[in-house]
Structures are given as C-alpha cells and as structure tokens.
Chain A
Amino acid sequence: MELIPFLGAALLFGIGLFALVFKRNLIKIAMGLSIIDSGVNLFLIALGYRSNGIAPIFTTAPVSNAQAAATMVLPAPQALTLTSIVIGLAVSALMLSLAVLLFKHYGSADARKIRGLRE
C-alpha cells in the first residue's frame, strides 16, 4: 500500500523516458521531460511520508510538541520538491520557446528533420 507512490513515480519516469526516446515531435519531447520531472518530484515527496503523519507545522499541530516530531512527515523533501518544481518550470519554459523558434527556422517540429548539425 505504501509502495504505490513509488510505483507511480517509477511509472511516470518510464513513460517520460519512453516519450524522450521514441517520440519525434519536439513538443512531445518537451512533454516527456516534464513527465519525468513530475515523476522525480513524486518520488521525492513520497520519501518523506510517514503513515498517518501530519503536516510539519509546529504551531497548528493537534498533538503536543513532544509527540509532534514523531508523527510529522519529513519537511526536507518538501523543500527539495518545491525547488525542483521551480527548476522544472524554467526548463519547460526554455525548452518550449526553443521549440517554437526551431519550428520558425526549420518549418517542421519533427526531430528527424531538424538535423542541421550532424556527423
């Protein structure tokens, strides 16, 4: 039961990697990268989870401070995930704008046709 988020993260990673390797459209490649990003973020969040845990905020904890530390979910992975989401946003924005520019230059969004730099 507790493995479901990890399996979901692995599945997302696999789907994203499949899209990166086998899909030719530039937008689909950008989407694949975004899916891998979501998968890794899900993995990071799932790492910090404790069963029946509460949010890691001391002031609103329904239990006393002494017991709170034992039942809170770990806050560090949440900070890592927030940073990673922001970085993923920057990468997606840059990748999509480069894809739009490439379509303007080459007239096609097919990775097989955008091969000006080869050999």
Chain B
Amino acid sequence: MITFSLNTGPSAWAPLAMAAGIFLMLVVVLALRFFGRKGFRYSKEKAMPFYSGNTVTQEERVRASDFFWGFFEAFKGYYARMRELHSGIVNDYVLWFVIVASLILVSLALGVVLWA
C-alpha cells in the first residue's frame, strides 16, 4: 500500500499537507499585498541597508570570521582545547585510531565477561 505520509512509530508526518498549508498562506499574503498601496518606485537610496546607522559597504561589512563572536568568546576554553587536538600532525591521527580501537576491544571484552 502506498502511503504519502511518513509513519514514525508513534506519530505520522504528512509533508504534502504542510506544503499545501504553506501555499495557502502564500496566497493569503499575496492577496493582502494586492490590497496595499500602489505606486512605490524603487530607488537605490530608499532600499539601502544599514547596520546601526552606518551604511554597509564593502569595507564595513561583517566578515565571515567575525560571525558569532559572542559564542566563540563564551566557549574559548573548549575551542582552545579543540584547536590543540586538531594539530595536523599525521602521527596523532594514527594514535587516535589506536586509542579508539583499544577502547572498542576492551568494551567488547567487558561485554563478553559480563553477559556471555
């Protein structure tokens, strides 16, 4: 039987219904816009963006490396530790593999001892 909704065990997700709802909302939004004032002429000065009163130019834009400054300040310790771990030295890559493989083997051995 072909169903169009996803049964996730305790619930079902019907995306087509949601898409129809979004489409309906878009129709309502367009209808409201239709009843608005006509006669807006686009000009560059009226539609320019501002950041806190300053115009946004190529030199004064927010660069990607400055995004989420607050988050990185709050987690400075964590990121310092991560930066040390991601050292780029290939021997450390193999060392991590050895560590994880031994942990897996130890946990399997514990599983045998405790449950079999």
Contact = CB atoms under 8 A, between A and B. Distances in A.
A adjacent to B, CB under 8 Å: yes
Interface of A: 17, 20-24, 29, 111-112, 114-119
B31 interface: no
Contacts of B91: 20-24, 29, 111
Q: How big is chain B's contact interface, by range?
A: 10 to 19
Where chain B touches its partner, the secondary structure class is helix
Interface centre among A21, A23, A29 (most CB of B within 10 A): A21
A111 B95 CA distance: 14
B29 interface: no
Interface string B2-19: 000000000000000000
Interface of B: 82-83, 86-91, 94-95, 98
A30 B86 CA distance: 22
